[in-house]
Structure 1
Amino acid sequence: MRAVVINCTLKPAPQPSNTEALAEVVAGELRERGVEVESFRAVDHNILAGVQSDMGEGDGWPRIHRSLLDAQILIVATPTWVGHPSSLAQRVIERMDAMISETDDEGRPVAYNRVAGVVVTGNEDGAHHVISEIAGALGDIGYTIPGQSWTYWHLGPGPGPDYLDSDKGRDWSGKTGRAMAANLFAVAEALAAKPVPVPPQ
């Protein structure tokens, strides 16, 4: 089984990423279950604006798109900015919109029989809003969203230290992240055993 993590931090590598650190808790639990995990930091790829899977020369999205099609699990990880997902998270979702009309050999949308979850970090509130926005979009695209397939770390209202700077709440975020991984894995296995059928015409 394969998983893809798309980290939508605004920080290019090698800058430390709070979002990457929490996403790695989930990825680590998946690896413990034998899942191969590939991670992308979206800011390090030239993801052009648009709603097609390939926008032509110089577009960095096609490589990520191929990885999505090879994976059974997707994790979208984003910081919260002014109560919303990062601009890169929005761009990723916009590029994934093309997958709604892409079908497999049997006529199913390509996101069918794949599961997805969300990781959110930030030193402000708004985590549940961000989770809802991304999970809702992924469901529209065709992914199955298992129960409790998210985790987050938020300091609370107002500015303050980040995930990597504070121990506050990290135990809860880690426990929730490991549960998220277990739920994603279990539902991915169930879908592999009994796939969602081709939609009726």
Structure 2
Amino acid sequence: MRATILNCTVKPSPEPSNTDALAELVAAGLRELGADVRTIRLVDHDIKSGVSSDMGDGDEWPGIREEIVNSEILIMASPTWVGHPSSVAQRAIERMDAMLSETGDDGTPVAYNRVAGVVVTGNEDGAHHVISENNGALGDIGFRIPGQAWVNWNMGPGPGPSYSDTDHGHQYVHQVAGLMAKNLYALAAALRDRPIPAEISRGED
């Protein structure tokens, strides 16, 4: 089982990322279950603006897309900015839009039989909005979203410390991250054993 985490922080490496720290909780849970997990910090890559899988010279999205389609599990990890996903997360969703019309060798849409979840950080309100936007987009693209396939952390409205600066809420977040990992893995394993077919036959009326 393979999982890819797209860290959509706006902070380039090697700057510490609270989003990465929270996503790593889910990654640890997946590794305990036997999954091979890779995290990609998207801001470190030249991802062209557009809605196709390859925007030409210099575009690094094709390699990232390959990681996604070679994984059974995808996790979008985004900070909250002004109540919305980061611009990096939005660009990734726009590039994945091309997957709506792409199929595998058997004719199955490329995102089918893959599961997805969302990690959200931020010291302001809006986490559930970010979760809804990302999960809704991933579902439209074709990923399957199990129950409790998200984990978020914030201090609440107004300024305050970031996730890595405090222990506030960490016990709860650890529990939810572990449950998220189990749910993603369980559904991915079920789809691996009984995949959604390219065409579903309809019975006679």
**Deviation string, structure 1 residues 136-164 (Cα, Å, up to 9, x no partner):** 00000000000000000011001110000
- What is the distance in 2 between the residues matched to 1:200 and 1:31? 33
Please name the residue that 1:70 is paired with. Answer: 70
Deviation at 1:199, TM superposition (A): 3.9
What is the SS of the residue equivalent to 1:38? strand
Please name the residue that 2:196 is paired with. Answer: 196
- What is the distance in 1 between the residues matched to 2:22 and 2:127? 14
Question: Which ranges of 4 or more aligned residues in structure 1 deviate by more than 2 Å?
Answer: none
**Deviation string, structure 1 residues 40-95 (Cα, Å, up to 9, x no partner):** 00100001000011101100101100001110000000000000000000000000
Matched, 1:119 2:147: no
Please name the residue that 1:54 is paired with. Answer: 54
Give the TM-score of the pair, scaled to structure 2.
0.96
Please name the residue that 2:154 is paired with. Answer: 154
What is the SS of the residue equivalent to 1:183? helix
Higher Rg of the two aligned structures: 2
Give 2:135's aligned amino acid: A
- What is the distance in 2 between the residues matched to 1:162 and 1:60? 30
Please name the residue that 1:43 is paired with. Answer: 43
Please name the residue that 2:187 is paired with. Answer: 187
Structure 1 segments unaligned to the other structure (5+ residues): none
Please name the residue that 1:82 is paired with. Answer: 82
Please name the residue that 2:14 is paired with. Answer: 14
Deviation at 1:31, TM superposition (A): 0.6
What is the SS of the residue equivalent to 2:190? helix
**Deviation string, structure 1 residues 1-20 (Cα, Å, up to 9, x no partner):** 10000000000000000000
Matched, 1:2 2:2: yes
- What is the distance in 2 between the residues matched to 1:199 and 1:47? 33
Structure 2 segments unaligned to the other structure (5+ residues): none
Give 2:4's aligned amino acid: V
Matched, 1:145 2:139: no
Deviation at 1:102, TM superposition (A): 0.5
**Deviation string, structure 1 residues 9-40 (Cα, Å, up to 9, x no partner):** 00000000000000000001101111001110
Deviation at 1:200, TM superposition (A): 5.1
RMSD: 1.0
- What is the distance in 2 between the residues matched to 1:199 and 1:22? 38
Please name the residue that 1:177 is paired with. Answer: 177
Deviation at 1:171, TM superposition (A): 1.1
- What is the distance in 1 between the residues matched to 2:164 and 2:12? 16
Please name the residue that 1:27 is paired with. Answer: 27
